[in-house]
C-alpha cells in the first residue's frame, strides 16, 4: 500500500512543479513566499519548492525507507536522549 501512496504523492509533486503557473493563476499568490523569495515570481518558486518536497516525500514513502530516513534526519537530536 505504501507503494501506491508514494506514487500518488510523487505524481502530485510532479504536477505541482510542472504546472506551477496554473496553480498561481487559480489559487493566487502566497504572501509569505512573495515576501521571502522575491517580488516577482516568489510564489512560483514557492509552488515549485512545495512540489519538490512532495516528490522527495513520495519517493521516500514509495521505497519504504521512511523510518530509516527519519532516523538519519533526527539522529543529531536523538543521540542526546540516549542513556549514558
Q: Express each pLDDT in 70-84 by its tens digit.
A: 888 888 887 776 666
Please give the average per-residue pLDDT across 23-46, as a whole number: 85
Please give the average per-residue pLDDT across 43-52, as a whole number: 92
Report H helices in 1-84. 2-18, 20-27, 31-37, 42-63, 66-78
| pLDDT given at position 83 | 65
| Helix 20-27, helix 42-63: angle, nearest 10 | 120
| Helix 66-78, helix 42-63: angle, nearest 10 | 110
Binned at pLDDT 50, 70 and 90, residue 62 comes out as very high
Instruction: Look up the pTM and report it.
Output: 0.80
How far apart CA 26 and CA 18 sit, in angstroms, is 15
Amino acid at each position: 500500500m505504501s507503494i501506491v501512496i508514494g506514487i500518488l504523492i510523487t505524481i502530485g509533486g510532479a504536477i505541482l512543479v510542472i504546472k506551477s503557473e496554473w496553480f498561481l493563476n487559480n489559487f493566487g499568490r502566497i504572501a509569505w513566499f512573495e515576501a521571502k523569495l522575491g517580488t516577482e515570481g516568489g510564489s512560483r518558486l514557492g509552488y515549485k519548492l512545495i512540489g519538490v518536497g512532495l516528490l522527495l516525500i513520495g519517493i521516500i514513502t514509495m521505497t519504504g525507507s521512511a523510518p530509516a530516513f527519519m532516523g538519519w534526519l533526527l539522529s543529531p537530536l536523538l543521540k542526546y536522549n540516549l542513556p549514558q
